[in-house]
Amino acid sequence: MILNRRQMFSAGLSLAGITAMGLGAQACAQQGLPPVKATDLGAGLFVLEGAGGHVGVSVGKDGVFVIDSQYAPIAPKLIEKISELSPEPIKLLLNTHWHGDHVGGNAVFKAAGAEIMAHKNVLTRVSAPQAWPTLGFPDAEPIPVAGRPTRLLDDEGLVFKQNGQTILVKHEPTAHTDGDVWVYFVEADVIHAGDLSFHQIFPFIDVDTGGTIDGYIAGQEAIIAAAGPATKIITGHVKQGGNPVTNRDGVAGDVALLKSVRAKMAKVVADGMSLEQALAAKPIAEEAKTLDWRFITEERMVRLVYADLKRQLG
| CATH code of 114's domain | 3.60.15.10
The answer to whether residue 266 is domain-embedded is no
> Residue 140 and residue 126: Cα distance in Å, rounded?
9
The answer to whether residue 276 is domain-embedded is no
Taking only the tens of pLDDT, the chain with its 314 residues reads: 233 334 434 433 433 344 333 333 233 334 578 999 999 999 999 999 999 999 999 999 999 999 999 999 999 999 999 999 999 999 999 999 999 999 999 999 999 999 999 999 999 999 999 999 999 999 999 999 999 999 999 999 999 999 999 999 999 999 999 999 999 999 999 999 999 999 999 999 999 999 999 999 999 999 999 999 999 999 999 998 999 999 999 999 999 999 999 999 999 999 999 999 999 999 999 999 999 999 999 999 999 999 999 999 87
> Residue 298 and residue 302: Cα distance in Å, rounded?
6
> Residue 37 and residue 152: Cα distance in Å, rounded?
30
What is the radius of gyration, based on Cα positions, of the chain?
18
pLDDT of residue 31: 52
Nearest to 99 by CA among 64, 137, 65, 66: 137
Nearest to 67 by CA among 51, 52, 54: 54
C-alpha dihedral sign at 7, 129, 274, 311: negative
> Residue 185 and residue 202: Cα distance in Å, rounded?
26
The answer to whether residue 16 is domain-embedded is yes
> Residue 66 and residue 53: Cα distance in Å, rounded?
12
> Residue 174 and residue 256: Cα distance in Å, rounded?
19
Domain that holds residue 237: 5-249
The answer to whether residue 58 is domain-embedded is yes
> Residue 33 and residue 42: Cα distance in Å, rounded?
27
pLDDT of residue 1: 27
The answer to whether residue 230 is domain-embedded is yes
> Residue 141 and residue 137: Cα distance in Å, rounded?
12
The number of CA neighbours under 13 Å toward the Cβ of 165 is 26
Task: Quote the Cα angle for 235-239-244, to 5°.
Answer: 30
The answer to whether residue 128 is domain-embedded is yes
Nearest to 93 by CA among 19, 131, 148: 148
User: pTM for the full model?
Assistant: 0.92
The answer to whether residue 289 is domain-embedded is no
- Using DSSP bridges, classify how beta strands 151-153 and 137-140 pair: parallel, antiparallel or unpaired: unpaired
Tally of domains within the chain: 1
The answer to whether residue 231 is domain-embedded is yes
- Using DSSP bridges, classify how beta strands 237-238 and 198-199 pair: parallel, antiparallel or unpaired: parallel
